[in-house]
Amino acid sequence: MSAHDFRLILLRHGETEWSASRQHTGRTDIPLTPNGEEQALAAGKLLAGLDLHDPLVFSSPRQRATRTAELAGLTGVHIDNDLAEWDYGEYEGLTTPEIQKMAPGWTIWTGVTPEGEDAGQVRTRADRVLASVLPELANRDVVLVGHGHFSRVLIARWAEFDVTEGRRFFLSTAAITVLGYDYQARTVLAHNLTAQLEGPRR
């Protein structure tokens, strides 16, 4: 295999109570819901189907990410603080409609986040993550387990877009994105892959 045959896999954590209600969850260390645990287990089956080559695994330090990695069957997980979610500052725990009552038209991609991170700070973290994994991609696949907004920033930066273009890459809980190369150009090979969970038995 050549260096450009290896892939960068992003896995968002499974559902939490706050992700289900669309509350911004940055520093708050909230656990998975029972459904989130099922999602993480199902994501493990998808990962197995990708036939990963000697994967190197990094996770956000938040329990919703580390537990997702564990349930997905990932081993040898290294904690990378740079994979933590966007710091929402004063908007932690609020939904976008709630924030827009105070700041009309606000989005995480275009607005100001008081006492939180701005797009430039998040870009610096994302670029640092990508720079650290590039040498590893010469020899193996890499898996990053993290969060919704920050993973979308990673996708945008991998594709050499501005941070704001992360808004184009909606990402479900426990979803997988596969990044790689096409004729040596960085590309998105697959996005927002999720497993179909079995419904209740009748």
Is the model's pLDDT at 3 over the cut of 60? Answer: no
* Helix and strand totals (H; E) in the chain: 6, 6
Active-site position among 15, 37, 38, 85:
85
Q: Report the pLDDT value the prediction gives residue 201, as an integer from 0 to 100.
A: 34
> Could you list the residue range(s) of the whole structural domain that residue 160 is in?
3-193
Q: Kindly state the average pLDDT of the residues 44-60.
A: 95
Do 108 and 122 touch, CB atoms closer than 8 A? no
53 in a domain, yes or no? yes
126 in a domain, yes or no? yes
Q: Going along 13-169, which residue ranges are E strands?
A: 56-59, 77-79, 142-146
Nearest to 65 by CA among 96, 104, 25: 25
How far does Cα 175 stand from its chain's mean position?
8
Give, rounded to a whole angstrom, the gap between the first and last alpha carbons of the chain.
Answer: 47
Q: Report the pLDDT value the prediction gives residue 1, as an integer from 0 to 100.
A: 53
Q: Report the pLDDT value the prediction gives residue 192, as an integer from 0 to 100.
A: 97
Cα separation, 155 vs 163, whole angstroms: 9
Let me know if 85 is a catalytic residue: yes
Query: Average pLDDT, whole number, for the chain?
Result: 94
> Phi first, then psi: what are they for 127, rounded to 5°?
-65, -35
138-192 tens-digit pLDDT: 999 999 999 999 999 999 999 999 999 999 999 999 999 999 999 889 999 999 9
201 in a domain, yes or no? no
Residue 195's pLDDT band, with cuts at 50, 70 and 90, is confident
159 in a domain, yes or no? yes
Is the model's pLDDT at 9 over the cut of 60? Answer: yes
Beta-bridge partners for 171: none
Strand (E) or helix (H) holding 13: none
199 in a domain, yes or no? no
Is the model's pLDDT at 4 over the cut of 70? Answer: no
Cα separation, 125 vs 131, whole angstroms: 10
Q: Kindly state the average pLDDT of the residues 63-88.
A: 98
Q: What are the CA-CA distances from residue 90 to residues 69, 81, 87, 95, 170 (Å)?
A: 29, 21, 9, 12, 23
188 in a domain, yes or no? yes
Token pair of 72 as six digits: 């997905």
- Number of structural domains the chain divides into: 1
Q: Report the pLDDT value the prediction gives residue 5, as an integer from 0 to 100.
A: 82
CATH code of residue 79: 3.40.50.1240
Residue 74: what residue type?
Answer: L
Q: Report the pLDDT value the prediction gives residue 80, as an integer from 0 to 100.
A: 98
99-127 tens-digit pLDDT: 999 999 999 999 999 999 999 999 999 99
131 in a domain, yes or no? yes
200 in a domain, yes or no? no
